[in-house]
């Protein structure tokens, strides 16, 4: 049936009655949400089935994107937008006296990830479907999502986030018992000769039932729905007798309980490794089961299947795929290996050495001994292949198992045909520094794929005010091809457009100001500059640099209350890893500085500091449209790409940035005049490392401004940070400031004072904002995914135009 307001209203009322025997007036918000999501889901399921059938009928090569994190956020509105239903449903609900934005509050924010990595995976899911690609996600259905963050006395407190039990749970998923697979872990294994192959015999292995929950990934106005498959761990029915107590059962069921278990102890580490093998094995087994059903030769499997390893967490895909080809399908090692390397591809997400995954050989042996055997054989053959070609040091540096550790990145590179970085600078650093040995060995395997974002969520959905201005200016073609936003460049001297850009931002700032008032009680003025830093709290991201600057301005104003500055609201959103002590100390200090400044009458509302609790996708959607300034101030070389930098520019914020990650590519697009660049470059940072010539205490001793600002952390100027103030002071002085905060401080102040100057000229500022939005379309994940599809996966879009009758609107 065609979707019209009338049809929708009837379907919605009927569903509410069927599910709850209620009418609109008597239903709670949860019930309204449940009925609404049910109408939406049952409308896209027929397209979901058809999409799958199309893949089969046309024998499409498919990609499976393995990621230990996905961060989709709420799906209700993005599904409505992608189905072409948003306006109709909005109107229909209004007619019933309801409001979509109220109903949406009943949906829990699906937070099965920590930050950028998981959000990228979710933007890619949106783009794969929207571009019509045969692409599936594969991950873990954590019972607890990323912790809920609260502040108590300025300290971060972590509360469990039992997202499946709040409200009505996850209304989008479909449990598929019929697709369950068994995953073997633990125990011992030995090989027995059986005819002409070796058969692995397992003793005492634990069998876990992996049950998939499928979530539809709805493509934008193309009637194309892909699958995100998330796995849950259960006890097999015929094995229940082995687990007579609740404790014994819990060991199995806890496997998929928490995202990133505390890895400060052995048990936590082992649990994480078990999670990795669990979702890898379940995913690869289900891919193989499907492939074998159609009785095609295994020697052409790489023509039909691509498996992508998002960061090293799923790197065991390589060994698991080999295991099935060898142990279950009895391929020769050579044939199996040839196919494996062709099937697999890998994305590296970081050069921070502490984040490069290594596992103890003993631990891997206890988690899956057969996988260790296979990895050891891959390693032996790798070493043998280099005999006489490379020196011993090279081999030791690059082999997979060295010093009783399994190097997952080495496994991922050796066992795949493609390794990509996530921004130009990052890929360059992989080639010339972190992975340079591998680059000399396999230059053809390395390539760059700069990250991107799903503009649909971050502009069309999150920012209706700006969307409206753009639509009125250049029409709506950019909704299906975001690069067309560039047509806005023709309006940089159009006073009325520039003025409307400013008005839209102002409207968004008012909305955020109201939210800040409700959430924190703090009053902020939309006339002030909204200066935003939102991202995980990490030393390299340098929230501390931002904080030092805030303290500096505060001290200046205390000394000279008549100092003329444009009022600013500093907005932070950031979670720290629960065991990351230093990051938590920074949170405490920001909160105490906020208290001090927000309650100081001398400041006359010239400064406000707002640290919003529980940063996540849902909060990001509120903050980003209201941002004037985007803080992207990581130490050069440390941020692989960043994606909040892209979201913020797209929504018209002006970036203050170091030449790091994708900031460089943003600068290249918008031009030097429309971004504020400061600080050390990558080469300067590397030179300091090389010459050991950075001495941060010189800055403290010789620069009176820095001296005064740092003293504020230890002399009582900022109250209630006895321990934390000293910790931070020491890290920046005696411990030599690992991230060059003091070195970049002055130049950062310079960039910020330029902002102050330019913001006073609103038409100039709004023109810069327009130019940023106009170039935001170059960072679309639709583009990024098209490059992955053609360069790495060799998959084809099953034509965007195929079923797009009725303007692509999904039928009811």
Ligand X SMILES: *Cc1c(COP(=O)(O)O)cnc(C)c1O
**Which residues are known to be catalytic?**
349, 535-536, 541, 643, 647
Q: Which of 125, 129, 140, 439 is nearest to 314 (CA)?
A: 140
Identify the residue among 41, 74, 119, 669 touching ligand X (CB under 6 A). 119
Is residue 114 within 8 Å of residue 146, measured between CB atoms?
yes
User: Rg of the chain's alpha carbons, rounded to an integer?
Assistant: 27
Rounded Cα gap, residues 599 and 601, in angstroms: 6
Rounded Cα gap, residues 69 and 121, in angstroms: 7
CB under 6 A: which stretch of 113-121, 296-304, 364-372, 413-421 binds ligand X?
113-121
Identify the residue among 72, 84, 92, 115 touching ligand X (CB under 6 A). 115
Is residue 625 within 8 Å of residue 651, measured between CB atoms?
yes
As beta bridge partners, residue 150 has 157
CA distance readout (Å), 192 to 365, 374, 375: 19, 15, 19
CB under 6 A: which stretch of 112-120, 323-331, 356-364, 503-511 binds ligand X?
112-120
User: Please, which residue, 407 or 647, has the CB nearer to ligand X?
Assistant: 647
Rounded Cα gap, residues 234 and 210, in angstroms: 6
User: Please, which residue, 149 or 281, has the CB nearer to ligand X?
Assistant: 149
- Residue 562 CB neighbours (<10 A): 6
User: Please, which residue, 219 or 616, has the CB nearer to ligand X?
Assistant: 616
Sheet holding 607-612, edge to edge: 607-612, 568-573, 529-534, 629-632, 654-657, 676-677
377 is written with which tokens? 């054989």
Q: What angle do CA 30, 33, 35 make, to 5 degrees?
A: 110
41 touching ligand X, by CB under 6 A: no
User: Please, which residue, 159 or 300, has the CB nearer to ligand X?
Assistant: 159
User: Please, which residue, 368 or 533, has the CB nearer to ligand X?
Assistant: 533
- Residue 551 CB neighbours (<10 A): 20
Cα 673 to its chain centre, rounded Å, is 29
Scanning residues 646 to 705, which ones bind ligand X (CB under 6 A)?
647
Min dist CB 116 to ligand X, Å, is: 4
601 is written with which tokens? 């009458």
User: Please, which residue, 41 or 119, has the CB nearer to ligand X?
Assistant: 119
Min dist CB 120 to ligand X, Å, is: 8
451 is written with which tokens? 């990250």
721 is written with which tokens? 């940070």
Min dist CB 541 to ligand X, Å, is: 7
Cα 61 to its chain centre, rounded Å, is 26
User: Please, which residue, 283 or 642, has the CB nearer to ligand X?
Assistant: 642
643 touching ligand X, by CB under 6 A: yes
Min dist CB 642 to ligand X, Å, is: 4
Q: Which of 494, 526, 490 is nearest to 510 (CA)?
A: 526
Min dist CB 578 to ligand X, Å, is: 16
User: Please, which residue, 154 or 616, has the CB nearer to ligand X?
Assistant: 616
User: Please, which residue, 342 or 535, has the CB nearer to ligand X?
Assistant: 535
Pairing of β 344-347 and β 419-421? parallel
Min dist CB 518 to ligand X, Å, is: 20
Min dist CB 775 to ligand X, Å, is: 18
Min dist CB 378 to ligand X, Å, is: 33
37 is written with which tokens? 């999501």
H or E, element range at 209: strand 206-218
CA distance readout (Å), 696 to 278, 632, 692, 726, 746: 46, 22, 11, 16, 13
User: Please, which residue, 111 or 344, has the CB nearer to ligand X?
Assistant: 111
Scanning residues 405 to 444, which ones bind ligand X (CB under 6 A)?
none
Min dist CB 115 to ligand X, Å, is: 4
Scanning residues 485 to 524, which ones bind ligand X (CB under 6 A)?
none
CB under 6 A: which stretch of 111-119, 135-143, 438-446, 762-770 binds ligand X?
111-119
Rounded Cα gap, residues 534 and 647, in angstroms: 11
132 touching ligand X, by CB under 6 A: no
User: Please, which residue, 116 or 421, has the CB nearer to ligand X?
Assistant: 116
Q: In degrees rounded to 5, what are phi and psi of residue 358?
A: -135, 140
DSSP 540: G
Is residue 745 within 8 Å of residue 548, measured between CB atoms?
yes
452 touching ligand X, by CB under 6 A: no
Rounded Cα gap, residues 490 and 596, in angstroms: 46
Min dist CB 149 to ligand X, Å, is: 12
x/- map, 603-642, ligand X, by CB under 6 A: -------------xx--x---------------------x
644 touching ligand X, by CB under 6 A: yes
- 559: burial class by Cβ within 10 Å (0-12, 13-18, 19+)? exposed
Scanning residues 716 to 755, which ones bind ligand X (CB under 6 A)?
none
DSSP 152-201: ETTEEEEE---TTTSTT--TTEEE-GGG-EEEEESSEEEEEEETTEEEEE
DSSP 679-725: S--HHHHHHHHHHT---HHHHHHH-HHHHHHHHTTTSSSSTT-HHHH
Rounded Cα gap, residues 687 and 664, in angstroms: 20
x/- map, 56-95, ligand X, by CB under 6 A: ----------------------------------------
x/- map, 531-560, ligand X, by CB under 6 A: ----xx------------------------
DSSP 403-420: TTEEEHHHHHHHT-S-EE
User: Please, which residue, 617 or 742, has the CB nearer to ligand X?
Assistant: 617
Min dist CB 425 to ligand X, Å, is: 14
Min dist CB 633 to ligand X, Å, is: 10
CA atoms lying within 13 Å on the CB side of residue 34: 16
* Total binding residues toward ligand X, as defined by CB under 6 A: 12
H or E, element range at 364: helix 361-367
CB under 6 A: which stretch of 2-10, 114-122, 246-254, 752-760 binds ligand X?
114-122
Identify the residue among 84, 116, 145, 216 touching ligand X (CB under 6 A). 116
Min dist CB 119 to ligand X, Å, is: 4
User: Please, which residue, 343 or 666, has the CB nearer to ligand X?
Assistant: 666
Binding site for ligand X (CB under 6 A): 115-116, 119, 535-536, 616-617, 620, 642-644, 647
């Amino acid at each position: 049936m065609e979707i019209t307001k009338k049809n929708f209203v009837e379907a919605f009322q009927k569903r509410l009655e069927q599910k709850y025997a209620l009418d609109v007036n008597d239903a709670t918000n949860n019930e309204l949400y449940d009925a609404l999501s049910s109408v939406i889901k049952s409308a896209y399921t027929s397209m979901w089935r058809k999409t799958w059938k199309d893949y089969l009928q046309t024998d499409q090569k498919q990609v499976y994107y393995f990621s230990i994190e996905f961060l989709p956020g709420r799906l209700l509105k993005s599904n409505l937008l992608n189905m072409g239903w948003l306006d109709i449903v909005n109107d229909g609900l209004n007619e019933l006296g309801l409001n979509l934005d109220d109903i949406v509050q009943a949906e829990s924010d699906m937070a099965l990830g920590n930050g950028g990595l998981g959000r990228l995976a979710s933007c890619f899911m949106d783009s794969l479907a929207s571009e019509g690609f045969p692409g599936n996600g594969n991950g873990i259905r954590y019972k607890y999502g990323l912790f809920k963050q609260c502040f108590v006395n300025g300290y971060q407190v972590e509360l469990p986030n039992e997202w499946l039990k709040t409200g009505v749970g996850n209304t989008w998923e479909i449990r598929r018992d019929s697709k369950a697979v068994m995953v073997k872990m633990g125990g011992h294994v030995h090989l027995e000769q059986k005819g002409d192959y070796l058969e692995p015999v397992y003793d005492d292995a634990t069998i876990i039932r992996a049950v998939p929950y499928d979530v539809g990934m709805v493509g934008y106005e193309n009637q194309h729905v892909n699958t995100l498959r998330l796995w849950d761990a259960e006890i097999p029915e015929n094995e229940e007798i082995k687990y007579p107590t609740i404790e014994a059962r819990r060991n199995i069921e806890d496997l998929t309980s928490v995202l990133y278990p505390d890895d400060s102890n052995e048990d936590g580490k082992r649990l994480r490794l078990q999670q990795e093998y669990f979702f890898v094995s379940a995913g690869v087994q289900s891919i193989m089961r499907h492939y074998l059903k159609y009785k095609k030769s295994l020697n052409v499997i790489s023509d039909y299947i691509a498996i992508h390893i998002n960061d090293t967490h799923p790197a065991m895909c390589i060994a698991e795929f080999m295991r099935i080809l060898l142990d279950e399908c009895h391929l020769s090692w050579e044939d199996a290996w040839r196919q494996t390397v062709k099937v697999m591809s890998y994305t590296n997400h970081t050069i921070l050495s502490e984040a490069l995954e290594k596992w103890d050989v003993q631990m891997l042996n206890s988690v899956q001994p057969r996988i260790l055997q296979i990895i050891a054989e891959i390693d032996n053959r790798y070493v043998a292949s280099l005999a006489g070609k490379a020196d011993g040091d090279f081999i030791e540096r690059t082999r997979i198992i060295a010093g009783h550790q399994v190097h997952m990145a080495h496994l991922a590179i050796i066992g795949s045909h493609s390794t990509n970085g996530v921004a130009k600078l990052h890929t360059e650093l992989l080639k010339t520094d972190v992975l340079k040995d591998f680059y000399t060995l396999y230059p053809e395997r390395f390539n760059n794929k700069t990250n991107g974002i799903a503009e649909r969520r971050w502009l069309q959905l999150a920012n209706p005010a700006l969307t409206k201005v753009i639509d009125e200016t250049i029409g709506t073609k950019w909704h299906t091809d975001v690069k067309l936003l560039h047509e806005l460049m023709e309006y940089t001297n159009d006073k009325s457009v520039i003025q409307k850009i400013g008005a839209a931002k102002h409207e968004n700032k008012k909305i955020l100001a109201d939210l800040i008032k409700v959430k924190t009680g703090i009053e902020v003025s939309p006339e002030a500059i909204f200066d935003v830093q939102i991202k995980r709290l990490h030393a390299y991201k340098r929230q501390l640099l931002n904080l030092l600057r805030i303290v500096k301005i505060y001290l200046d104003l205390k000394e000279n209350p008549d100092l003329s500055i444009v009022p600013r609201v500093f907005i932070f959103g950031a979670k720290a890893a629960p065991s990351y002590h230093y990051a938590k100390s920074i949170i405490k200090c920001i909160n105490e500085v906020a208290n001090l400044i927000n309650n100081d009458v001398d400041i006359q509302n010239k400064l406000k500091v707002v640290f919003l609790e529980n940063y996540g996708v849902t909060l990001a959607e509120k903050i980003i449209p209201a941002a004037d300034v985007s803080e992207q101030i990581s130490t050069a070389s440390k941020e692989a790409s960043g994606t909040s930098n892209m979201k913020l520019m797209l929504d018209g914020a002006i970036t203050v940035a170091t030449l790091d990650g994708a900031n460089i590519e943003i600068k290249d697009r918008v031009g030097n005049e429309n971004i504020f660049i400061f600080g050390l470059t990558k080469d300067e940072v590397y030179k300091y490392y090389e010459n050991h010539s950075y001495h941060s205490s010189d800055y403290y001793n010789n620069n009176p401004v820095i001296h005064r600002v740092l003293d504020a952390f230890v002399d009582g100027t900022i109250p209630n940070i006895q321990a934390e103030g000293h910790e931070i002071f020491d890290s920046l002085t005696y411990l030599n400031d690992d991230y060059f905060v003091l070195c970049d401080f002055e130049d950062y102040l310079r960039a910020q004072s330029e902002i102050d100057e330019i913001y006073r000229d609103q038409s100039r500022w709004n023109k810069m904002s327009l130019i940023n939005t106009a170039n935001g379309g170059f960072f679309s994940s639709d583009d990024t995914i098209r490059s992955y599809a053609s360069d790495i996966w060799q998959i084809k879009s099953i034509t965007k135009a195929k079923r797009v009758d009725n303007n692509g609107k999904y039928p009811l």
